[in-house]
Structure 1
Amino acid sequence: MTERKVSRSRSNRRRTRWAAVCGGLALSLTLGLQGVGLQGVAAAADRPVPPPPGRLLAAPAAFLGGIVHPEASPSGANDWSCRPTREHPRPVVLVHATWTNASSDWSMLAPWLKRQGYCVFAPNYGGAPGSPFKASGPVPESARQVARYVDRVLKATGARQVDLVGHSQGGGPTPRWYLRFEGGTDPAHPKRNKVHSLIGLAPSNHGVTASGVGTLTTELGLNPTVSALVGQAYADQMVGSEVNRRLDRGGDTQPGVDYTVIATRFDEVATPYQNQFLTAGPRATVRNILIQEVCPDDLSEHVSLSYDTNAAQLVSNALDPAHARPVRCGVSLPVLGG
């Protein structure tokens, strides 16, 4: 991919955006963080309802909670006695982002989906036990861990298929590797697929540049050094990595899978955001959604998109298109969510 020269005005806008992000995080830490306060329930409402407005500090609160309790399940997730209903026959497996964990990434979406009547599961993968910064290992190994987890969910629930909802790496290369190389799909017999849908929030499809940082480390040959410090997932997600070359060879999709991409134009990690979008191959469907085209004032960036109630309604619509509801566009801020 040929990188364009960034103008001085564009650089100034990027610095301003980063200042706002950092300022928001500093504010959240200064004010002190309350728990997210979302509790899962066993029974679903008669009809799905839009998510309640998020608390201003929900995302940073969950992040800090995930550091303190890195192996905890988010509320509403990992009830191994759950059995799917006729209305929601497929369990939902939430796949977290790089350097996060299930608790820090899914403390809003997991209980909300549980309230709607889904069986919700959220693994920790790609990191050492006790470490709060998971999904840092090699993408192929993480995909194998997700594969084993999905098999466990199918066996426990008796379901034939699951739906995957992922954030960043968890919505992009890891599940796509699982679908293609680790048994998630059967291209010759798509009805035998283990996965019905893949819904990605800011997925790192086709490689990222991290607002130019990744481009710099790639061009300087520093990706192995950086990965030695922060994990192989860093190098695996860069534009032009071997993982991305293998994934993109032969097309973006697998037969029989319904793909949804939810991106934000303010993404500072999975850049350029257009790299997140997929092209449908044979017997697959793709919906590429830029959230600002649905909610023009949505300011979510890469980190906060999993705590954006506007995005949450889009996830619900993708899981159950027959009962899709209009998005009630609310305020969602960088880092803080909403």
Structure 2
Amino acid sequence: MYASAKELSRFVDKVLKATGATKVDIVGHSEGSVLPRLYFKYLDGVAKTASVQYGTTLDGIASILKARGLFDLPQGLLSPLCMACFQLIKGSSLLNDLNRGSDAYPEVIYLMLVSKFDEFVTPYTSGFLKTTGPNIFNVKLQSLCPRDFSGHLEQLDDHK
């Protein structure tokens, strides 16, 4: 996740230089909703933006992995499976560090859109920011469209 945040920082700098803009909007899904927070907190991203916060249980899969001793395998074994996925498990050192202090900046506008049918971000409410304010919008997809049953992956192409 930290490597991805550095890559995001380089990309934002390229976009700003190419367009002459002073700020960018960032849209992220899943892991991409945590990534900007790393960028804001550690790489001075707040000044450049206009724009599964508390971890997931992976619908209980994390507990099964822990119970079978598979959760703490060396990172090299997990990387092909999605190292960032393990960094997004509730209680991970990455999320504990990221969520120390405030989870939002007043200069950034946040729209956290979640689905109650998300099978990867469990509970789905962990996709919301805990901080409140006029710049933070925590929205459950079903409050906008009660008949939308989109899960995690369907949200990428949900245009109902």
TM-score (ref. length: structure 2): 0.91
Q: How far 1:284 sits from its partner (Å)?
A: 6.6
Matched with 1:178 is 39
- Aligned-partner Cα distance in 1 for 2:83–2:2: 10
CA contact (8 A) 1:259 1:287 kept: yes
Query: Do structure 1's residue 154 and structure 2's residue 16 form an aligned pair?
Result: yes
Offset, 1:255: 2.9
Runs of 4+ in 1 over 3 A off after TM superposition: 218-221
Q: Deviations over 1:287-321 (max 9, x none)?
A: 01111111010011000101111xxxxxxxxxxxx
Give the conservation status (yes or no) of the 8 Å contact 1:259–1:284.
Answer: no
Q: Secondary structure at the match of 2:147?
A: coil
What percentage of residue pairs aligned between the two structures are identical? Answer: 36
Find 2:101's aligned residue among 238, 250, 255: 250
CA contact (8 A) 2:66 2:72 kept: no
Alpha-carbon spacing, 1:284–1:252, altered in 2? closer, same or farther (3 Å): farther
CA RMSD of aligned residues (A): 1.7
C-alpha distance in 1, partners of 2:37/2:114? Answer: 17
Deviation digits for residues 114-144 of structure 1 (CA, Å, limit 9, x no counterpart) = xxxxxxxxxxxxxxxxxxxxxxxxx111111
Q: Report 1:44-63 matches (<5 A).
A: none
- 1:211 equivalent to 2:59? Answer yes
| Superposition deviation, residue 230 in structure 1 | 1.0
Contact 1:236/1:242 (<8 A) preserved: yes
Alignment equivalent of 1:194, drawn from 36, 48, 51 = 48
The corresponding residue for 2:149 is 299
Scaled by the length of structure 1, the TM-score of the pair is 0.44
Pairing partner for 1:280 from 116, 121, 131: 131
Aligned length: 157
Q: Quick check: which has more Rg, 1 or 2?
A: 1
CA displacement 1:187-240 (0-9 Å, x = unmatched): xxxxxx10111xxxxxx2111111110232245442243624413212211000
Residues 219/240 of structure 1: CA separation in 2 closer, same or farther (3 Å cut): farther
- CA gap of 1:284–1:179, structure 2 versus 1, over 3 A, is farther
- Alignment correspondent of 1:140: 2
Q: 1:267 aligns with which of 99, 118, 142?
A: 118
Tell me: CA distance 1:196–1:275, structure 2 relative to 1, closer, same or farther (3 Å): same
**What does residue range 1-338 of structure 1 map to in structure 2 within 5 Å?**
139-171=1-33, 173-185=34-46, 193-197=47-51, 204-225=52-73, 227-280=78-131, 285-309=135-159, 330=160
Distance 2:22 2:44 in 1: 14
Q: What is the deviation of 1:150?
A: 0.4
1:276 CA drift (Å): 0.6
Q: Which runs of 5+ in 1 are unaligned?
A: 1-138, 186-192, 198-203, 310-329, 331-338
Higher helix share: 2
Q: What SS does the corresponding residue of 1:144 show, helix, strand or coil?
A: helix
Contact 1:254 1:284 in 2 (8 A): no
Q: Which amino acid is 1:141 matched to? A: A
Gaps of 5+ in 2: none
Letter in 2 for 1:267: D
Partners in 1 of 2:134 and 2:17 — Cα distance?
26
Equivalent residue of 2:28, what SS?
Answer: strand
Distance in 2, matches of 1:152 and 1:296, equals 40
Q: CA deviation at 1:175?
A: 1.1
